[in-house]
Structure formats: structure tokens, C-alpha cells
Amino acid sequence: MARINFGGVIEDVVTAKEFPLKKAQRVLKDEVVAVLGYGVQGPAQAANMRDNGINVIIGQAKEDKQYWKKAIADGWIPGKTLFPIEEAVKRGTIIQYLVSDAAQKLLWPKVKANLKKGDALYFSHGFSIVYKKQTGVVPPNFVDVIMVAPKGSGTSVRRNFLDGSGINSSFAVHQDATGRAMERTLALGIAIGSGFLFPTTFQMEVYSDLTGERGVLMGALAGIMEAQYNELRKHGHTPSEAFNETVEELTQSLIRLVAENGMDWMYANCSTTAQRGALDWRHHFRKAVEPVFAKLYRSVATGKETEIVLRVNSAPDYKVKLGAELKEMRDSEMWKAGAAVRELRPERRKKK
């Protein structure tokens, strides 16, 4: 591992320099990695491992025709590299449990019944293990229980792999039944194309992940954007002006500067007027949302958030209701304006 200084705190991380792809291939050469679920993370992790020379098969319910057909379209062959869930578990030695959190609870009896001594049960989220009283997911003591959690969507996992940058991932070993759990974990982290790997625990991963996606990464981001857009529109600003000042400049300019060299560098490369205002108002926003984040973290740690997820996402009409909520967002003036703005981007106009 490499020892890196993160803001004064020394952490151990793993990169392809410490654990090269060739080593990962050697560790996994006798393994059959069964990727269960072809929805969000499954397609990306499976494709990256296949491209890296790992023996991969897919486990997907045939009844879910949308994802079964998607797997076939991506080159997985029924009866050869694409199987029903239970058959894939039987054939695999590393079982990547990448169905949704709610589905993990529902499918667990079938998965557990087909696990073999020495298998590794792999997660990309600590949800089912940490909240086992709610999910019922308690692995037998004869399997490794490991995790590699990419810090991004499946789309980003695949896109970053193809452009050579990789996406950062956390990793953890919850149960080492074989004595090989750690090397299996690191090998898989490299095989799926991680930029670098940093250690965590199942509990710390799920607490940070649920807080992050409800907070800055998605929930807070959308809510703050809507609040600013609505305030600008209230005072007579046009949709295009309100959207550009709220979303477009952030996503197409400023956040890229942050990604390159940090927030202070972005500030340094903006006008002095923007610098002064941002430095002053930053503290107002932090103080305003600190109580919200404290409430959010408590809700995650006590299991309230996972109770909601399992109850709502397991409902038979979940997809219908989800579609309606996403449609409401898509059909809002703000995001209709966004669609129009995106079509005016030079790269979109060139394609036309």
C-alpha cells in the first residue's frame, strides 16, 4: 500500500502500481466471477473485468426481460456466460451481489442456498450486511465477505475505464473464511478499473454513501439548484438566464476547475467580485445546512433511511411511482430549460 497525506491525515491506499493488473489476473485466474444483476453497477463492472481478461458470467432473472435482453445485447451468451441467478451462483466462485438493495433482501434465500465453501460474496455497498436485522442477509461462515465500492455510478465506472482514468473505490473485508479474502478484494478492485482503492468498513461505507447521495451528491444539489432557480425566476430572470447561472456554469465550467486543482484554485480563477461574494456567503450556507446534515446522518445511522428504502422500493408499484416522480422533475420548467440549453452546446449542434 502507498501512504498518502490527506489534509494532514495519513492513509493507506492501493493503486495499480502497488497491485498491478497482471497480479490481479494471477490472483483471479482460477476464479469464476458471477455478477448478479444487470441494472446499474453490474454491466459496468462485468464489462471492465471481461476486458481485463477475467472469467466473468452474468446472473440475471429471465423474467426481467429488459435486463436479460440488455445483457444479450452487450455480448453475454445465454447458457454460456448468461444464466438465471441460482445457476450463476452455483457456477461462480466469487459472487458479486449487485442487484438493488431491496432485491438483495428478496433474493437472499436463493443466493444463500447455492453458496459453496470457499466462495467469496462480494458487495459494492455495505447496506445489506450492516442493516442485517432489516434485510436478513447473514452470510454463512464458510465464505469470504468482501466489498469494493466504486465512488460513482455504473455509467461513470465504465466511462472512466474506457478513457483510462478509472474511478476511485473503497474496499473492505468483513469476513475472511479462506485466508485469501484481502487479495481477492484488491484483485477485484483493480480488475473493475479502480483509479485507486482506499480502505473502509462495511458500516463506514454505507453511512458515508447514504449521507452523500442524500446530501451533496444528489439530494442537496438538486434542492439548492431548484431554490436558486426559483428565486431568480421570481424576480423576472428568463429561464435560460436562471438555468445558466444555476446549473450550466457549474457543470460546464466551475466544477471542472474544482476537479483539476481544488476549490481554492477555482476561486483563484474567477473574478474578484465572485471570489469575495463566494468567500463571504460560503459560511452562511454552511451554517444553514449543518443542522440538516446532522439530522440526515442520524437518520442513516439509526436505520430509518434503510427502512424507508426497503419498504418503498419493495412495493409492487415502485417503478410506476418512481417514473412519476422523475417525470415531475423532467417536466419542471427548470429542467425543460436545461434540455434546451444542452441542445445549444456546440458538440450537440455539430452532431446535427
Provide the grid cell at 141.
461462515
Q: Judge whether 98 and 118 are in contact, CB under 8 Å.
A: no
Chain centroid to CA 314:
20
Residue written as grid cell 492513509: 11
Grid coordinates belonging to 216:
451533496
Find residue 36's DSSP bridge partners.
59, 97
Locus of grid cell 444479450: 72
CA distance linking residue 33 with residue 230, whole number of Å = 48
Is 125 a known active-site residue?
yes
DSSP state of 332: S
Find, among 285, 243, 240, 249, the residue nearest to 270 by Cα.
249
Q: Which member of 125, 174, 237, 283 is catalytic?
A: 125
Strand-pair partners of 198: 170
Q: Which helix (H) or strand (E) holds 5?
A: strand 2-6
Within 8 A by CB and 6+ apart from 88, the residues are: 34, 35, 36, 57, 58, 59, 60, 95
268 contacts: CB under 8 Å, gap ≥ 6: 275
30 closest CA partner among 196, 252, 258, 183: 183
Contact 119, 95 (CB under 8 A): yes
Q: What is the DSSP letter of 79?
A: T
Task: State the Cα–Cα distance between residues 123 and 109, nearest whole angstrom.
Answer: 16
Note the helical H segments in 144-218: 154-162, 181-191, 202-214
Query: Would you name the residues annotated as active-site residues?
Result: 125
